[in-house]
Structures are given as C-alpha cells and as structure tokens.
Amino acid sequence: MQKSIAIVNDISGFGRCSVTVALPILSVMKIQCGIIPTAVLSNHTEYPDYWMLDFTPYMQDYLAKWEQLHLSFDGVYTGFLGSKEQLDNITDIFKKFSFRQRIVDPVMGDHGIIYDSYTPEMCHAMKELVIHSTLTTPNITELCILTDTPYRKDLSEQDIYHMCRSLSASGVPRIVVTGLEKDNQIGNAIFENDSFQVIYGEKILPLRPGTGDVFASVLAGCSLHNIPLWDAVKAAADFIRTCLLTSAKLEVPINDGVCFEEHLGQLLSLVSK
Ligand code: PXL
C-alpha cells in the first residue's frame, strides 16, 4: 500500500522552502501528499520584502471538508506555523485525524534568537504540539525553548543529551537535534530509547534558507518508510551537503535556497531498495 502524509506548512511561492520543498521530496519518496496551508506568501521572509496571507481563518472550513470526505493519512508533518490559534488548531487536528506518525519541526528560532513572529504563548503552544509528536527535529535554540533551558553557544553534547532526556520524559519518543558544531564540522544528534548519538559531517558554506525544511522532509519520508533513524539522518545530511555543493557550483543566489531538484533521484534510491 502506498503511504500518505498531510503536510502542514506555508506556501511560499518562491524561494525553495516549506511546501515547495516538502512536496517534491515526499513525492519522490513515493508518498502521497495532502497540503494543509498555514499561510500563503509571495516568497519567503528572508527576501527584502514579501506579501503574506495568514490562512488561520480558513483552516477550520478547509479541514471540515477533509473530515466530511473521511480523508485519512498515515502521517502528518508540520513546519512553519504562524499564530497561537493556528498552533491550537493543529493540536486539534492531531486528535481528530488519527495520524500514526506525527513529525513536528518546531520552527521557532535559530542561533539563540526567537523569530520576531513568535510570542511566549506561541512557544508554549509549540511545546504542547511537540509533546504529541512521534518525531521532532529542533535545532539547539528550539531545544532550549522546549526544555526551558537558557541558550548558550557553548552547550556540550552532554548538555544536549540531558535536554533530550527531559523532552523525551514528556512523551516524545524520537528527537533529532540539528546544528551541533565541532571542529568546523556540523552534526545532528539522535535520541531514541535513551540512546544518544551524534553524526558529524563537513560544514558547507554558505548556509542557505530552506535546508531545515529539506532535512525534516527527508526525515518525515524515511519515518513513513520505517527507515532506521540513524540511516535517515545520515541520508538527509548527505543529501543537503550534495545540494549545497551544487548550489554553489551553479551560482544559485543564497536566498533562493538549495537546488535540490538536481539530486532528487538520490532520494529515490532510499525507498526503492
Ligand atoms: O523554513 C524556512 C521558511 C519557511 N517559511 C517561511 C520562511 C522561511 C525562511 O525564511 O520565511 C515563511
């Protein structure tokens, strides 16, 4: 049977992030996708200007139709969420549609800074949502927010392990923490069944927007295919590195993200074994 997933994310019309990343990646991984838009933007917010429509007021009617049609999905994957009300709606959706796999990328901030649009109430609502996930992919900043830990640049692997333990105690079975740094390398920590491992790899500059979405999308796809978490994280990180190298070679403007289209075939091999 083909797998299916509901993608809860914004539609940024240009700039390779959110749905324009998740949809092709999950589709090439042979998963049928449904979309629950959180906002519609002309382009992502890293460009000098953008237009945005908050989709919150339409979400309930939109989802009422899905319920009426008895649509069902194996999994759900959430990314950028724009308001407290929206976060509460999503927690509701988790309950209404009994998704077996619930992947939450708790997009709230980076480099110790919470995004402007994120209020303390929204951070609290995100904590609630994360508790209901089966896999979450915070960066270090987001892990600090989720565990009420003050952010420091010099947090050790041991510190991160303890934060993962505390988050898992609230009911989250699998956690992947992105953006660890050591000796000019970049790593991802995997916490599952109280085991903790970090996979480091070459850091490829410049950093580009949307790589977090590429990472979480590959992980969501692997999760639905029951690919072990270590293999999934390795595959996602390798894929991003390849895409970053090609993006530099093809002189893709930084804000346009990574040209993952060049390498989508690499993901097909993950699911056709
Ligand atoms: O995850 C990247 C992303 C998603 N959605 C919106 C964004 C960005 C990055 O800037 O602006 C709207």
- Which token pair is 15? 């700039």
**Mean pLDDT score across all residues of the chain:** 96
Residue 273 is predicted with a pLDDT of 63
Tokens 């804000």 sit on residue: 255
Parallel, antiparallel or unpaired: strands 113-114 and 75-78: unpaired
Q: How far apart are the first and last CA of the chain?
A: 16
Does 82 sit in the ligand 1 pocket, CB within 6 Å?
no
Which atom of ligand 1 lies at the shortest distance from residue 45's CA?
A: 11
Does 10 sit in the ligand 1 pocket, CB within 6 Å?
yes
Q: Would you call 217 exposed, middle or buried from its count of C-beta atoms within 10 A (0-12, 13-18, 19+)?
A: buried
CA of 70 to the centre of ligand 1 (A): 31
Per the CB < 8 A criterion, the answer to whether 54 and 39 are in contact is: yes
The strand order across the sheet containing 195-202 reads 52-54, 31-41, 3-12, 75-78, 101-104, 135-136, 174-182, 185-192, 195-202
Q: Residue 104's closest CA among 20, 6, 187?
A: 6
Residue 272 is predicted with a pLDDT of 83
Does 84 sit in the ligand 1 pocket, CB within 6 Å?
no
Residue 117 is predicted with a pLDDT of 82
> In the CATH scheme, what is the code of domain 3-271?
3.40.1190.20
**Per residue in 96-141, pLDDT tens?**
999 999 999 999 999 999 988 899 999 999 999 999 999 999 999 9
Q: What is the mean pLDDT of residues 16-36?
A: 98
